[in-house]
Structure 1
Amino acid sequence: MTLNSIRVGLLASALLLIGCNEPGYPEHLQVQRIDQSDLQALLIAPKESAGALPTVIVLGGSDGGLGGAQATAQALAEEGIAALAVGYFGLPNLPETLNSIPLEYFDAALNYIDTSTQLSRNQCQQVPVMGSSRGAELALLLGANSSDYGPVMAIAPSSHVWGAVGDTQASAWTRNGQPLTFVPRHSNPDYSAQRFIGRGYFQQDLQHADAVAARIDVNSIQAEVLLFAGADDQLWPADEMAQTIQAQLATVGPAARVTSIIYPAAGHAIAPGLPKNLTEVTLGNSQTIVLGGRPDANAAAQEDILRRAVNAIKNPICYDSTASFDDHKLDELEQFLQTSGTSSMVLMRAGEVVFEYGDIHEKHTIHSIRKAMLNSLYGIYVERGIIDLDATLAELGIDDSIPLTATEKTATVRQLLKSRSGIYLPSAATAQSMLAGMPPRGEFEPGEQYIYNNWDFNVAGAIFEKLTGESIYTAFYREIAKPLGMQDFKGSYTTIDEDTDISQLEVDGFYQYEPELSKFPAYHFRMSAYDMALYGQLYENFGVWNGQRILSREWIEQSTTSYSLTNRYMDFGYGMLWNVINPNEQRPEPAFFHTGIGIHMLGVYPSSDLVFVHRVHTETDYHFDQQNLYSIIGQVFGALETRHSNEPADTDK
């Protein structure tokens, strides 16, 4: 072995020196060392659990053993997750160095999870995998080569396969007995440097044409991918490689599949559980390996990574990249639409229209789907700290033509969004069917009962405008329509009265006042099917558009969590301004939608990579049987060659 090879080995072993000895663990965690002929691992999990725990495989970096992996596993276990830290070299029955590690070795970890009563795959029938540095490279390779892994979480990731440690002519990994193509070393690292910075050498090697063949085939990953990198990573250019992966994934499938977070002042050692001050490591020969980052930035990155990882593990998004549409069945659907009274319809995937019918750019009223449009504005302004969801109507100075009682004034903004305010008063744009389902005033206190109630929604709109100081339509255009590139919504609006001919309007929205009922207007949107589909795509992307975050993922998940059971037979619920299709044994993945007068619909089906918009031109004379909508939904999912059972029926008006 050459001097350079020795120094490469020292560099690798120095990467995650901290935690190489098993520490003591808190009493509330159970720790089990797994020492088998086919698996070397450490299981860390909460002691108190009812049933199988959400489970993740954790992979350390160039230490190969259980040092860095066990630190991250413990951090995850503290969050209620069973974490299986898997060693892959430098342990009994394993190779001594990172050299020709078979990807098939990790099948034993899957088998261990599958045969345990305590551990479990997620609802996508996958096992989450998290790796750091070379472990991130490994996690991406596992996801690219097997559908058993997901979500794939890569910390300080690599977009390419690199060579073995200590042998520049060998691959670090094999599959089916064959070495994986790796990036050849063209640079000449100065391993004698007192302060070694590796970043530039990796950048040089990535510039060579022969590096292309070593790129990890991330397009094959059938799961969500989360990438975390420090912009000040001095060991290798993890931030640049994360961007390469994100750009590669953007060419296939929905943008929601990849989340890439670059932490500006963080370095290489940002895996949860690692010491926050691990910005460099000094070897026994007094040489310093520079990892980069500031301790405070590393700490903030670790905290954010842990939060995002826990959420992804506990709430996975299921994807089926093989699902496609049967063209013949879509032709049959189009023939049905010609006789149904449908004015326009869009099916969208990854921001692209895959099926359209009618004039998808004609604007007209979307009715109750306006509530879903308000949801995004609330999400943005809650995150900015301008709106407090737990503020009461009394605190906000909200009262109506019919004065609110003291109890009614205790209702919060959050309860309005959930339609659980307990306030049953007349309101603008309220259908007779809605009034007929209204309980007597005072029967339920705020928060006690879900009642779909336009008073709640109209007041939610008024509160938004009061706290932000601007029109809903102006804010929606600036914050949503313009960033998404909506073609037809421009933010213009007016106020109508009972004599207004709505069919003659050209605006994008209008306020409907009915002062004899309430002083709060309904805020109606006029949108095209295409723009509505873009809006649904934003939610399928979990708030990301063209690499920019518009809505927080947390807000979308909070809004599309079911707080009220609205249809026991279909197992539908209501979140915050969205109807929710609850996951169950027949449909393990959730979805969400909103309808308008039972015949307009915007549906978002993340597991099917599908946004569905159906329109009827209700500003003119129209004839459409509501039962036709159910038939259309069935035909859409029937046209999917891999079918998903998330078809909603309509209970909203």
Structure 2
Amino acid sequence: MDIKIKIATGVLAIGLLSGCNEPGYPEHLQVQRIDQKHLQGLLIMPKHRTGPLPTVIVLGGSDGGLGGAQRTATALADQGIAALAVGYFGMPKLPPTLNSIPLEYFNSALEYIDSAPELNRNQCQQVPVVGSSRGAELALLLGAKFKHYGPIIAISPSSHTWGAIGDSNSAAWTLNGKPIPFVPRHSNPDYSAKRFVGRDYFARDLNHTDAKQAAINVDGNSAQVLLFAGDDDQLWPADLMANNIAEHWQGTHVSSRITKVIYPNAGHVIAPGMPSDITEASLSNNQTLVLGGTPAANATAQQDILERTVNAIKSPICYDSKAAFNADKLNELRELVETTNTSSLVLMRSGDVVFEHGDIHQKHTIHSIRKPMLNALYGIYVDRGIINLDATLGELGITDITPLTPTEKQATVRELLQARSGVYLPSAATSAGMLAGIPERGAFAPGEKYVYNNWDFNVAGAIFEQLTGQNIYTAFYREIAVPLGMKSFKGEYTTTDADTDIATLTVDGFYQFEREKSQYPAYHFRMSAYDMALFGQLYENYGVWNGKRILSRDWIEQSTTSYSVTNRYMDFGYGMLWNVINPNDERPNRAFYHTGVGIHMLGVYPSSDLVFVHRVQTETEYEFDQQNLYKIISQVFGALEPSEPME
């Protein structure tokens, strides 16, 4: 900007503090002034902690110094986060204005975090960055130029880089000693106006063709990006610029990494910790700077931004930015799939379909992949404290046509989900292959042995409904399908028996009873490949969708931890309603999957940022060679190739 914003003291330009536990900060926070040759900042974190804290870098805007960054850092520290507010101009040992600030300077903040035992990078080996206004522009630049920063939380952001403050012909930022291109000013803002409104000037400059050179290259970002803007921002058109970024990513394989929220009637000052009534500000020359918004709308935005930001910092989604698909090899994959009687196939990355075959929106039965669907419901209601995994079958009053023995009644809900109940009774939807693997009744006590047994899974479904009072299909629709935006699953269901022709069904699920065997039905799902891929992406995202947490990371970790060995040669195991591909010397990262009749498959591969769904139309007569599924999986991973890493 050509105008240096100096908001009244006590509003944005808060005086610097030194030492710890300074006046004005809550007693439960520790405040440490950082005054080093290559780093000026303020570290604010909870005083009482048991180990390293999730850590974030906080960047202020054109107010200079630490200014508003301190307030946002304090708000984040109040949520159990170590927040490092970093000054980058307008302080001793720093440039006096926002002019030619080297991006490499911020690596000093990374070095400080790496050297402090109470601080740490997140599980993606990155450090989150929160920035507001020009600080948001900076945060997006850091994410675009370096791999070490993420998630990037940009509040009142810019889609482009702008010139230096006080000198619109100079660059605000440099990299490797070279100025980063910026938007030239053509609009001639009237800085003598008694009430300065900058929005239209910025919008006009963005419309010039020479603005394109200054667009921030968000394609290079290797992390989540969260964009927050008010639609009444009068300082600059943050809402339009947030839309520019989102539209640029639309249709790319990384578009779901971005969360964009535009707040009605909110203005420019919506960073957490800031006073919500700053809708305009007095400048040193007696001018009024119009910032926009209403106090109520600003407060609503700040609270939502705080919640989403804390969630992103504590539970980031990790992406493998070094992997891409080879187009020629994907064509070879397509040629193979067309010969196999595969009905549909989806490869999804970051929520976007990067390869598809067949009608990916056609619903049909997913067979045993119903179990991960139940896993998600369990995760939600366990976290709500409604389901106790350590409750026993006896305590829950579980019985069947064949009464349970006292030993069988000691099996827990957790052991049902792990397929280790020790209860070997007849059950609905048991295949001949499954039946052949079931031991004699009483051969093993609860918890002693893994046995893939539909009695466990069917009873787990009944217990879910008993404890929650929720129908499985209705609950799944409300808790999972709606938040994820599933296209085909509507929660409609019916009841069938073994003689029902399921090819005639149009519903999303059905209870299959075989009452001569058991009083508990199998709960079958009918889903499309696309909706299944969205479900897998939820687990790929470690439970977060569009910036909101649906499943806890802890639940996903529990569910995809191997409790039983299922294939010693391949080092596969079984978790809780998920098959687990364990990490080993050949593959350092865990993955998980579930199959249905050996030919349907939902695979989640977090280290490759990949969800794989394979379907066969098994509701009618079909032919599919199981070996072709292995060939397809091999070609999928053969199509992955490394791309150029970021700095």
TM range (shorter): 0.7 to 0.9
Report the Cα distance in structure 2 between the residues aligned to 1:13 and 1:101, rounded to whole angstroms: 25
Structure-2 separation of matches of 1:31 and 1:451: 56
CA distance in 1, matches of 2:616, 2:251: 33
Deviation at 1:468, TM superposition (A): 7.0
**What percentage of aligned pairs have identical amino acids?**
58
1:19 correspondence with 2:14: yes
1:143-222 equivalences under 5 Å are 143-222=143-222
How many angstroms does 1:249 deviate by? 2.0
State the AA in 2 paired with 1:455: N
CA contact under 8 A between 1:560 and 1:578: conserved in structure 2?
no
Other structure's SS at 1:602 match: strand
> How has the CA–CA distance of structure 1 residues 242 and 15 changed in structure 2, closer, same or farther, with 3 Å as cutoff?
farther
Instruction: Give 1:454-603 correspondences, 5 Å limit.
Output: 454-459=457-462, 467=470, 479=482, 484-486=486-488, 495-502=495-502, 509-529=509-529, 532-533=532-533, 535-537=535-537, 552-555=548-551, 557=553, 560-562=556-558, 565-567=561-563, 574=575, 592-603=592-603
Change (3 A) 1:179 1:437: farther
Is contact 1:507-1:526 (8 Å) kept?
Answer: yes
Match of 2:260 in 1: 260
In 1, the alpha carbon distance for the partners of 2:325 and 2:440 equals 40
| Structure 1 residue ranges without an equivalent (≥5) | 445-449, 644-653
Per-residue displacement from partner, 1:504-546 (whole Å, max 9, x unpaired)?
767664431123455553332344545533554566578999x
Deviation at 1:171, TM superposition (A): 2.0
Q: Give the whole-Å Cα distance in 2 for the aligned partners of 1:61 and 1:238.
A: 13
- The alpha-carbon distance between structure 1 residues 174 and 623, as it changes in their structure 2 partners (threshold 3 A), is closer
The structural deviation recorded for 1:172 is 1.4
Which residue does the alignment assign to 2:347? Answer: 347
Q: Aligned Cα RMSD in Å?
A: 4.9
CA positional deviation for 1:295: 3.1
Q: Measure how far apart 1:334 and its partner are.
A: 7.6
Structure 1 partner of 2:87: 87
2:435 paired residue number = 432
Aligned length: 617
Matches within 5 A, 1:350-361: 354-355=354-355
SS at match of 1:113: helix
C-alpha contact 2:362 2:528 (8 A) present in aligned 1: yes
Distance across 1 between alignment mates of 2:442 and 2:233 = 60
Q: Are 2:125 and 1:125 aligned?
A: yes
Change (3 A) 1:571 1:138: farther
What are the within-5 Å matches in structure 2 for residues 442-461 of structure 1? 453-459=456-462
1:100, 1:170 within 8 Å by CA — same for their partners in 2? yes
Structure 1 residues 235, 13: closer, same or farther in 2, change over 3 A? farther
Query: Structure 1 residue 621: deviation in Å?
Result: 6.9
Map of 2:58 onto structure 1: 58
Residue identity opposite 2:60 in structure 1: G
3-state SS of 1:560 partner: helix
Distance 1:598 1:469 in 2: 24
For each residue in 1:259-285, what CA deviation from the matched residue of structure 2 results, as whole angstroms up to 9, or x when unmatched?
Answer: 112222332222222233333323455
Quick one: which amino acid aligns to residue 307 of structure 2? R
Q: CA deviation at 1:217?
A: 1.2
220-229 or 171-180, larger mean C-alpha shift: 171-180
Structure 2 residue identity aligned to 1:21: L
- Displacement of 1:224: 1.0
Q: Distance in 2 between matches of 1:43 and 1:544?
A: 28
Asked if structure 1 preserves the Cα contact closer than 8 Å seen for 2:7 and 2:281, the reply is no
Map 1:62-461 to 2 at 5 A.
Answer: 62-326=62-326, 345-349=345-349, 354-355=354-355, 364-373=364-373, 390=386, 428-430=428-430, 431-432=434-435, 436=439, 453-459=456-462
1:296-333: CA deviation from partner (whole Å, max 9, x where unpaired): 43333333222222222222222233412356766887
Residues in 2 aligned to 1:585 and 1:48: alpha-carbon distance in whole angstroms:
38
Counterpart of 2:450? none
1:124, distance to aligned residue in structure 2 (A)? 2.3
* Aligned amino acid, residue 458 of structure 2: W
Q: Structure 1: how far apart are the matches of 2:440 and 2:293?
A: 59
1:60-86 CA deviation, whole Å, 9 max, x = no partner? 111221122222223323333332221
Q: TM-score, normalised by structure 2?
A: 0.77
Inter-partner Cα distance in structure 2 for 1:28 and 1:452 = 51
Give CA deviations for 1:462-512 in whole Å, capped at 9, x if unaligned: 56996579868998999489x5445xx788765433333546767664431
Q: 1:360 to 1:219 in 2, by over 3 A?
A: closer
Q: In the aligned structure 2, how far is the partner of 1:417 from the partner of 1:286?
A: 71
Does structure 2 retain, via aligned residues, the 8 Å contact 1:319–1:606?
yes
Please identify, of 108-117 and 93-102, the stretch whose mean Cα deviation from structure 2 is larger.
108-117
Cα distance in 2 between the residues matched to 1:49 and 1:388? 25
1:363–1:152: structure 2 CA closer, same or farther, 3 Å change rule? Answer: closer
Tell me the amino acid that sits aligned with residue 308 of structure 1. R
Give how far 1:88 is off.
0.7
- Is the contact between residue 311 and residue 549 of structure 2 (CA under 8 Å) also seen in structure 1? no
Q: Give the structure 2 partner of residue 447 of structure 1.
A: none
2:35 matches 1:9: no
Whole-Å Cα distance in 1 between the matches of residues 437 and 222 of structure 2?
43
Q: Structure 2 counterpart of 1:610, which letter? A: L
Distance in 1 of aligned mates of 2:282 and 2:207:
30
2: CA distance, partners of 1:294 / 1:423: 62
Change in CA separation of 1:223 and 1:590 when aligned onto 2, cut-off 3 Å? farther
- Shift in alpha-carbon separation, 1:215–1:11, aligned structure 2, 3 A: farther
Q: Deviations over 1:444-472 (max 9, x none)?
A: 9xxxxx99822344326756996579868
The AA in structure 2 aligned to 1:553 is R
- CA deviation digits over 1:389-417, x for unaligned, max 9? 627999xx998766999xx99x99x9899
Q: TM-score, normalised by structure 1?
A: 0.77
For 2:305 and 2:460, the matched residues in 1 are separated by: 35
Check whether the contact 1:123–1:588 (CA below 8 A) recurs between aligned residues: no
1:578-603 superposed Cα distances (whole Å, 9 cap, x missing partner): 66778899877765533334543212
